[in-house]
Amino acid sequence: MPNDSDSAAQASDDADVPDVLPPARKSKYQTDAWQPKVVTSSGDAKNQRIAAATYTAIYGGTPQVVDEEPEDDSETPDANSTKVPKLTQAYYTAPSLVAWDRKPNGPGKSGNTALTGGSFYVDLGALRTAEQECLAAANTSINAYERLRKTVRAAVASDDIFGQMVGIYYGNLSIGTTNGVTTEASVEYDPLDQEGRDFAESTNPRMEQLLQAVGGAIEVMGVFNATLNNAGQMYAQSDHDASFGTDD
């Protein structure tokens, strides 16, 4: 049950949210635009509200507020099961680094506490260029991965790529007798076919597991790209909100 301090924190955070939020943006690969979630029972609910307000002010939408996270009722997958991801890229051009007015009276409002520390410099142009290079590398990796995934999928679906169904085919054979006896078509399989089936049963899961690992690594590349952009957005916002101190 929220206390007065929680309500005050909520009111303070809401003051940073613009009255009118733009529509949530979504990539061409999404059915619905992603929107941040705030879990009020979480110990860092205040930070979640601030992060959600910042995100939606830039990318649009409305934060989802829930009392608690739903329990994960999914079953633990079997150790031999594999799930090969199909990868797509959400965006190909590094987004602009923008900021927005969070305070009604703009940055430098009276009462703000000045922070002092060592000077530092961030080249946002270089950061965005680096992100673009990372996006290009991710695109190259995804394209190569998708080609390999399709090759592996075809191999796994094949019944004879590893010699599982090697044999001699005998077509219909009619024997000229008074009864017109016909021998039905048949296949005489090679005794070594079982070895091919055993090999396929052991190799196919291994190929899928390797794909799963490679796909996971490429997904981490995407997380890094998003984090890099977020760092630039945070700096742009901090720079926008900053002001020169005055000597009293």
Residue pLDDT, tens place only, 175-188: 555 666 666 666 66
**Higher pLDDT residue, 113 or 240?**
240
How much of the chain, in percent, has pLDDT values that exceed 70?
A: 63
3-class SS letters over 201-219: HHHHHHHHHHHHHHHHHHH
Location of structure tokens 């190569």: 144
Which of these, 97, 59, 47, 101, lies nearest to 235 by C-alpha position? 97
- d(Cα 61, Cα 35) in Å, to the nearest integer? 6
Q: Are 48 and 38 in contact (CB under 8 A)?
A: yes
Give the pLDDT confidence score for residue 40 in this predicted structure.
Answer: 87
- d(Cα 66, Cα 4) in Å, to the nearest integer? 19
Give the pLDDT confidence score for residue 146 in this predicted structure.
Answer: 94
- d(Cα 138, Cα 149) in Å, to the nearest integer? 16
CA distances from 192 to 189, 200, 202 (A): 8, 13, 16
Range in 91-95, 104-108, 124-128, 192-196 the model is least confident about: 104-108
Residue pLDDT, tens place only, 96-118: 887 766 554 444 444 555 556 66
Which of these, 163, 185, 164, 162, lies nearest to 173 by C-alpha position? 185
**Higher pLDDT residue, 63 or 107?**
63
Q: What is the mean pLDDT of residues 200-228?
A: 90
> Most confidently modeled of 24-28, 56-60, 120-124, 221-225?
221-225
How much of the chain, in percent, has pLDDT values that exceed 90?
A: 16
> Most confidently modeled of 12-21, 121-130, 142-151?
142-151
Query: Is pLDDT at 15 greater than 90 in this prediction?
Result: no
Q: What is the mean pLDDT of residues 42-55?
A: 83
Q: Are 128 and 134 in contact (CB under 8 A)?
A: no
Give the pLDDT confidence score for residue 37 in this predicted structure.
Answer: 85
Q: Are 12 and 5 in contact (CB under 8 A)?
A: no
pTM of the model: 0.56
